[in-house]
Amino acid sequence: MNDEKIIYFDNGDTTRIDDEVLDYMLQFYRTSYGNPVSLHSLGIEADENIASARETIAGFINADANELIFTSGATESNNMAINGIAGFYKEKGDHILISSIEHSSVKAVAHRLENEGFEVEEVKVDKQGFLDIEDLRSKIRTKTILVSVIYGNFEIGTVQNIREIGAVCRENNIVFHTDAAQAYGKMRIDVKDENIDLMTFNAHKNHGPKGVGALYVRKGIKLKKMIDGGSHEFGMRSGSENIPAIMGFALASEIAYRDLEINNSHLIKMRDRLADGLLQIDHVTYNGAHGENIDKRLPHNVDITFQYIEGEAILMHLSLRNICVSSGSACSSKTLEPSHVLTAIGLKHEQAHGSIRFTLSKFTTEEEVDSVIQNVKEVVEILRSMSSFIPEEHSELINKDAKTFYKKK
């Protein structure tokens, strides 16, 4: 990166930490650094701090404090939920259902369980990424022990009808898990009203620290624990808690929910401005919930397919212009495989390879949005001028002056 200002549109991957959160965390490194299992004054203080943070975070999802287990992040929470249910309920059943657009930390761990004798099936979604409820109902069996459906999709931004999915699971006495890492802090979530049994979320998607997350576990739901060694986190996750990160998690949550309506109004305005500008480019597709379903889309997410060019090439050209975006989920963006989310909603492999995700934050400005629109238009023109994939009927997309234009830039 050069000395010019960076425009960061990859907030679905991670966010810049809030200055207020960082300053708050420092005191727990410098002066309030006790271990909460210690019986001296600093240990008691630490135990009280973590209890306060647990109460605060649980309140934002209408959970009880003792239903919250702190983890190292969403990936661990997803693993704990799926492995924990499989391990505890395996005598009851061996059938697991997940949606076809789950994050890799759900998809990979669920399918790994197939090596242990479990059967895993994926439930279909439609072209905008909404779960097919009838397909879910048709796949449920007497031996189904878990359904896992992502709350708001990390790539295409589609928000599921979690309440309805949870109700189907309750009707059939099946544990329901949702990965809410992208939705927490941007949507009002009520685990009781939405029939949620297990829920994954974390701090760093909401201007909090990395390396800390949580798993909500409804009273009565049992998990086989994955880590032995001590009484931490109600005996479910041994190891000294990361107190500064947990306290930062709590404050970042407070800020996010205090300012939720203001931030979401801003995010939606920026999201729609960006989408409207990018959709002016020929031969592009808006992936995920849009049109009459736009209110069922995460407020910060825009995912666009640019036909006849590679998303990785767009990403690299934008990076050279100090613009940070993503060509897929952060955990799989270094692979050459097409996004399973995009192929699940019906995109062909070459279309999936030509997709870019733009994710905004409360710090995003109109000037940044307009700059990204202009730069993307220029980059797409340049890349299409060099593309060998453009069919003859769209030859007007080949601008022979584009290479020269790029050199002038």
Q: Pull the structure tokens for residue 173.
A: 């006495």
- The region that residue 169 occupies, defined by phi over 0 for left and psi between -120 and 50 for alpha, beta otherwise, is alpha
Query: Which of 14, 331, 350, 377 does the annotation list as catalytic?
Result: 331
Helices (H), 69-161: 74-89, 104-112, 133-139
Contact predicate 142/81, CB 8 Å = no
Q: Pull the structure tokens for residue 61.
A: 């999802």
Indicate if 331 belongs to the active site: yes
Rounded Cα gap, residues 409 and 125, in angstroms: 42
Rounded Cα gap, residues 153 and 85, in angstroms: 23
In 172-212, at which residue ranges do the beta strands (DSSP E only) sit?
175-179, 198-202
3-state secondary structure at position 312: helix
Q: Classify residue 229 by burial, with Cβ atoms within 10 Å: 0-12, 13-18, 19+.
A: exposed
Amino acid at 229: G
**Which residues contact residue 31 at a Cβ distance below 8 angstroms, ignoring those fewer than 6 apart?**
none
Rounded Cα gap, residues 282 and 135, in angstroms: 35
Concatenating the DSSP letter of every residue in 5-70 gives PPEE-BTTT--PPPHHHHHHHHHHHHT----TT--SHHHHHHHHHHHHHHHHHHHTTT--GGGEEE
Rounded Cα gap, residues 49 and 365, in angstroms: 36
Residue 370 CA, chain-centre distance (Å), reads 25
Active site residues: 331
